Amino acid sequence: MKKTESGFVSIVVAALIMIILSLLTIGFTRLMQREQRQALDRQLSRQALYVAESGINDVYKALEDDPSLPAEKTDCDPSTGLTDVILTTTDGKTEYTCVLYDKSPKELVYDLSTQQSELVEFKSENNKNFASITFTWGPSGEGAFVYNECDSSIPDSSNSSLIHLDMSRTGAGYNRANLQASADNFYLRPCRSAASPAAGSPASHAYSDGAKGDFVNVVCADSGDYPCQATLTFDAAQTSSNFFSRIKAVYANARVTVTAQQYASGTSGATEDVEFVQAQTSIDVTARSNDILRRLRVALPLSQAQYVPEAAVQVFDGICKLVAIGPSSVVDGCVGFYP
């Protein structure tokens, strides 16, 4: 009987094809599983984000409805307060895992617009006098941060984020002379220069030290979220535990953080960090959906007037002024007037 191996090659080829197809099938299955898991993770991440946003709203509403709640909550234990805020679904897979808040934070955060100013009350928690207030700011959103030339007397208006501050010290008596003496207004102007001070060094401005409306050149750092920093200082005659300020961005939107130092006692000597009251509340919520966690931290105004008008009279178009000249000549109507 004659032996032949003519079919052996076909068997080997068929086996190789089956192995390759099996590997492709396994790889495709793994890829599909990975895509399904990523899609599920994205869905759970959105759910956790929505739950965290709900937690922010719930905490804010609880603090607004009950002023007697403690000034801060520093641990995740629900038994230490806000027991009605803690959310857990019946399946136990969606919940707030941690709720924190601080009604007297050491840092205030503002997204400033060129269209609307922020009215802020700077008030220390224990009514101690301010030694300094530091403003740190940078661009809001995407886009390059534009600087001025420090040696130029005229600010560049091309997307340069100037910060305009109007400030008034309370307790000086509400008459014209006292209000003028206790108020200051100035512009923090970001610039870049090879001259002193070095880039990134904080600028300084003494409160109400002379003429109003000064430009304060702030030599900013080359990079970072908040490249510019300026410190407002107070002497013994101008300091107080309470200031009202209107803050506005000029030319371009900006994101600003505010910190401060207060005198440990009196109007001079050692200083310590200020905990601001009645300005903002810091709320920090971590939420879970299945095994996905999302954390949100926001700074929201609490117990303070919001959206204060920019002027005593504010209109959408223009104001028509009727002008009377002499006892009998009257310019009537508003045709051709300039808004």
Does residue 146 contact residue 160 with C-beta atoms inside 8 Å?
yes
pLDDT digits (tens, 9 = 90+) for 27-45: 888 888 888 888 888 888 8
Torsion angle in degrees (nearest 10) through CA of 325, 330, 334, 336 = -70
pLDDT digits (tens, 9 = 90+) for 92-149: 678 888 888 888 899 999 888 888 888 888 988 888 999 999 999 988 766 666 776 6
Confidence (pLDDT) at 5:
60
Report CA-CA distances (Å) from 67 to 61, 73, 123, 283, 303.
11, 14, 18, 15, 10
pLDDT digits (tens, 9 = 90+) for 180-194: 778 888 988 888 765
How far apart, in whole angstroms, are the C-alpha atoms of residue 168 and residue 184?
7
Confidence (pLDDT) at 168:
87
DSSP calls for 70-112: -SEE-S--GGGS-TTT--B-TTSSEEEEEEEEESS-S-EEEEE
Q: CB-based contacts of 300: which residues, under 8 Å, 6+ apart? A: 56, 60, 280, 281, 283
- φ, ψ dihedrals at 135, nearest 5°: -110, 125
How far apart, in whole angstroms, are the C-alpha atoms of residue 190 and residue 144?
13
The CA-to-CA distance between both ends of the chain, in Å, stands at 113
